[in-house]
């Protein structure tokens, strides 16, 4: 069980889907690829509900629902967009999105360790996206160097921590030299879904920013407490012990975390592992994802209930991305 699951074949062998479902899922997978890491497979199989159900039915598992394709993805609504957040209009050079004055996104790679079924970048990631070439990365870094107003560089993708140690070293060596960049932020799911990739060498590389009078924050994407496996918990402790502050980012997902119990447990789990809750995203209009969308009024009620029930440090900001590049708006 060391390899990631990347095909319907793999899912069937693991009893995550049966033959009937498999046939219905062919068109989904032709559009949006599958990838589930061994750690997330364990999170599905070892969950209390899976054990109680004798390992026969994982379909209600909140980790299963995030990564195993569903026939509902065949339903594409007319309002669902290829570029739901409008990144393309704000791309001055390949790999950069410069929408807000003081910060840019730098998209190193289109690959992820897992492919989330609700991903709002699903039309631009995996096989549909492109890896920046070394030359393109140099040009993207030139752009950052030539724009004094850029205070923060946000590494995203795909998942930036899929990049090789050599590539990350080249990147950090250059960023460290750009005096006006004061904060480097990494948005990643890897410490949770494939924690072994976070090596001691990688953490030492991250720490080099501190000696250049910069800070570095890691924003951890997780949506349910059941994603926090023993391996993930160990890695999160290593990151925190390395002096790297962590923030959280989650998506509000129908029938996965859209209730007071699961949401409170998730936020408290972040705090327990030294991660400050930051954003909770309302779903964007990505193709074939409407079955995950939570009604906005209900979403606000949930945040209000969170506030009334748990510690203030556990409360994230509820965010909606307004299409056509308008940007993020806090809605509660």
Ligand X SMILES: *Cc1c(COP(=O)(O)O)cnc(C)c1O
Q: What is the contact surface with ligand SF4 in residues (CB under 6 A)?
A: 112, 114-116, 119, 121, 125, 157-159, 189, 221
Nearest-CA neighbor of 18 among 75, 57, 61? 57
Q: Which is nearer to ligand SF4, 178 or 292 (CB)?
A: 292
How far, in Å, CA of 262 to CA of 264, rounded? 6
The token pair at 36 is 């589930």
User: In degrees, to the nearest 5, what angle opens at C-alpha 131 toward C-alphas 126 and 132?
Assistant: 155
Q: Is the CB of 194 or the CB of 262 nearer to ligand SF4?
A: 194
Minimum CB separation of residue 161 from ligand SF4 in Å reads 10
Residue 186's binding partner among ligand X, ligand SF4, none (Cβ under 5 to 8 angstroms by kind) is none
Cβ atoms < 10 Å from Cβ of 205: 17
Q: Choose from ligand SF4, ligand X, none: what does 159 bind? Cβ within 5-8 Å by kind.
A: ligand SF4
Output phi, psi for 32, to 5 deg.
-130, 115
Cα distance between the two ends of the chain = 42
Task: Specify the residue, 123 or 262, whose C-beta has the smaller distance to ligand SF4.
Answer: 123
Closest CB 125 distance from ligand SF4, rounded Å: 5
Q: Which helix (H) or strand (E) holds 195?
A: none
- Cβ burial, residue 42 (10 Å; 0-12/13-18/19+): middle
The alpha carbon of residue 229 and the mean position of all alpha carbons in its chain are separated, in whole angstroms, by 17
Partner whose footprint covers residue 112, from ligand SF4, ligand X, none (CB < 5 to 8 Å by kind)? ligand SF4
> Which residues contribute to the site for ligand X (CB under 6 A)?
85, 97, 99-100, 103, 105, 154, 328
| Nearest residue (CB) to ligand X, 36 versus 303 | 303
129 vs 212, which CB is nearer to ligand SF4?
Answer: 129
Task: Indicate the residue among 85 and 314 with the shorter CB distance to ligand SF4.
Answer: 85
CA distances to 9, 165, 247 from 109, in Å: 26, 13, 22
125 binds, among ligand SF4, ligand X, none (CB under 5 to 8 A by kind): ligand SF4
174/328 with CB nearer ligand X: 328
CA separation for the pair 316, 221 (Å, rounded): 13
280 near 317, Cβ under 8 Å?
A: yes
Residue 103 Cβ vs ligand X, minimum distance, rounded to whole Å = 5
Out of ligand SF4, ligand X, none, what residue 116 binds, judged by CB under 5 to 8 A for its kind, is ligand SF4
Closest CA to 102 of 18, 211, 181: 181
The one of ligand SF4, ligand X, none whose footprint includes residue 103, by CB under 5 to 8 A per kind, is ligand X
Rounded least distance, CB 45 to ligand X, Å: 34
Distance in Å, CB of 29 to ligand SF4, minimum: 14
Q: How far is the CB of 115 from ligand SF4 (least distance, A)?
A: 5
Q: How many CB atoms lie within 10 A of CB 327?
A: 15
Closest residue to ligand X: CB criterion: 99
Least separation in angstroms between CB 123 and ligand X:
15
Q: What is the C-alpha separation between 65 and 116, in angstroms, rounded?
A: 9
Paired tokens of 153: 């560089």
């Amino acid at each position: 069980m060391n390899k990631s699951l990347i095909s319907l074949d793999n899912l069937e062998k693991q009893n995550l889907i049966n033959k009937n479902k498999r046939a219905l899922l062919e068109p989904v997978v032709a559009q949006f690829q599958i990838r589930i890491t061994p750690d997330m497979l364990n999170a599905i199989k070892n969950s209390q509900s899976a054990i109680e159900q004798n390992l026969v039915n994982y379909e209600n598992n909140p980790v299963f629902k995030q990564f195993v394709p569903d026939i509902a993805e065949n339903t594409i609504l007319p309002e669902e967009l290829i570029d739901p957040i409008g990144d393309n209009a704000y791309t001055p050079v390949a790999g950069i999105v410069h929408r807000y004055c003081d910060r840019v996104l730098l998209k190193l790679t289109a690959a992820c360790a897992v492919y989330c079924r609700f991903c709002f970048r699903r039309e631009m990631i995996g096989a549909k996206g492109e890896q920046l070439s070394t030359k393109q990365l140099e040009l993207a870094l030139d752009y950052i160097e030539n724009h004094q107003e850029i205070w923060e560089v946000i590494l995203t993708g795909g998942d930036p921590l899929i990049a090789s140690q050599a590539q990350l070293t080249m990147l950090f060596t250059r960023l460290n030299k750009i005096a006006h960049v004061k904060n480097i932020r990494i948005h990643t799911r890897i410490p949770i879904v494939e924690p072994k990739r976070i090596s001691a060498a990688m953490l030492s590389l991250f720490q080099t920013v501190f000696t250049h009078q910069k800070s570095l924050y890691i924003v951890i994407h997780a949506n349910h407490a059941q994603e926090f496996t023993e391996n993930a918990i160990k890695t999160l402790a290593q990151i925190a012990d390395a002096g790297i502050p962590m923030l959280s980012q989650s998506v509000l997902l129908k029938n996965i975390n859209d209730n007071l119990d699961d949401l409170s447990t998730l936020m408290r789990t972040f705090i327990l592992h030294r991660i400050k809750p930051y954003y909770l995203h309302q779903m964007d209009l990505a193709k074939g994802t409407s079955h995950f969308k939570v009604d906005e009024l209900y979403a606000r009620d949930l945040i209000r209930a969170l506030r009334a029930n748990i510690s203030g440090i556990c409360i994230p900001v509820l965010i909606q991305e307004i299409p056509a590049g308008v940007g993020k708006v806090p809605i509660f």
